[in-house]
Amino acid sequence: MNRLLVLVPAFLLSACVIFPVPVTVPAAQIAGGGECRNEGLERFVGQPASQQMGAEMQRASGARVLQWVGQDSAVTMDYRIERLRVRLDRLNRVESARCG
């Protein structure tokens, strides 16, 4: 029974993954009309995810919406021209960043 009391909380904590809170960049700071552009986003790959970096990625891409996607997370297949989707690896580093 004691072992169970230790294992259950440890299991629950190991299942938790903390993601940065999405950042909304004011429209005045976004280049263009909010349409996302992929050019130049490769420079963020491998960097640790943070709110500041998310804001930089939004400014660089022109995206109005930033979506963080954790490892093994399911996402919808819809395409949104104003969205930047950032996939993270298990270490919370940027694996890829693509518009849509």
Q: Which domain CATH number covers 75?
A: 3.30.10.10
Q: Which helix (H) or strand (E) holds 68?
A: strand 65-69
Q: What mean pLDDT is predicted for residues 48-52?
A: 97
> Considering the domain boundaries, does residue 45 fall inside one?
yes
Structure tokens at 69: 């996607």
Say what the pLDDT of residue 2 is.
54
Say what the pLDDT of residue 97 is.
97
Whether the CB-CB separation of 97 and 41 falls below 8 Å is answered with yes
Distance (Å, whole) CA 68 – CA 53: 12
> Considering the domain boundaries, does residue 74 fall inside one?
yes
> Considering the domain boundaries, does residue 78 fall inside one?
yes
Q: What mean pLDDT is predicted for residues 66-89?
A: 94
**Is the four-CA dihedral 98, 61, 89, 75 of positive or negative sign?**
negative
Distance linking the first and last C-alpha atoms of the chain:
49
Give the total number of structural domains in the chain.
1
Give residue 72's domain range: 19-99
50 DSSP 8-state letter: -
Query: Which amino acid is located at 37 in the chain?
Result: R
Residue 7: which of 46, 82, 15 has the closest Cα? 15
Q: What is the pTM of this model?
A: 0.67
> Considering the domain boundaries, does residue 36 fall inside one?
yes
pLDDT in tens, 30-48: 455 689 999 999 999 999 9
> Considering the domain boundaries, does residue 5 fall inside one?
no
- Checking if the pLDDT of 84 tops 50, the result is yes
Say what the pLDDT of residue 38 is.
96
Percent pLDDT > 70 in the chain is 67
> Considering the domain boundaries, does residue 61 fall inside one?
yes
Average pLDDT, the chain: 80
> Considering the domain boundaries, does residue 83 fall inside one?
yes
Query: Higher confidence at residue 89 or residue 2?
Result: 89
> Considering the domain boundaries, does residue 9 fall inside one?
no
